[in-house]
Structure 1
Amino acid sequence: MAAKPTPPGQCPQCWQHAYDKSIHRRLKGGDCLPCLDHMRNGCPYFVPKKKSSWW
Structure 2
Amino acid sequence: MARMDTPPGQCPQCWQHAHDRRAHRHLKPREDCPQCVDHMINGHPYIVPKAKSRWR
TM-score where L is the length of structure 1: 0.65
In the alignment, which residue of structure 2 is the partner of 1:26?
A: 26
Corresponding residue number in structure 2 for 1:39: 40
Q: CA offset at residue 28 of structure 1?
A: 2.4
Computed over aligned residues only, the root mean square deviation of the Cα atoms, in angstroms, reads: 2.2
Which stretches of structure 1, 4 residues or longer, exceed 4 Å deviation after superposition? Answer: none
Work out the number of aligned pairs and report it.
Answer: 48
Q: Structure 1: how far apart are the matches of 2:9 and 2:3?
A: 17
User: How far apart, CA to CA, are the structure 1 residues paired with 2:21 and 2:2?
Assistant: 10
1:17/1:24 contact within 8 Å kept: yes
Structure 2's unaligned 5+ residue stretches are 50-56
Identity of aligned residues (%): 67
For structure 1, the 5+ residue unaligned runs are 49-55
Cα separation, partners in 2 of 1:3 and 1:40, compared to 1, 3 Å: farther
TM-score of the superposed pair, with normalisation by structure 2: 0.64
Displacement after TM superposition at 1:43 (Å): 1.2
For residues 2 and 31 of structure 1, do their structure 2 counterparts lie closer, same or farther at Cα, with a shift above 3 Å needed?
farther
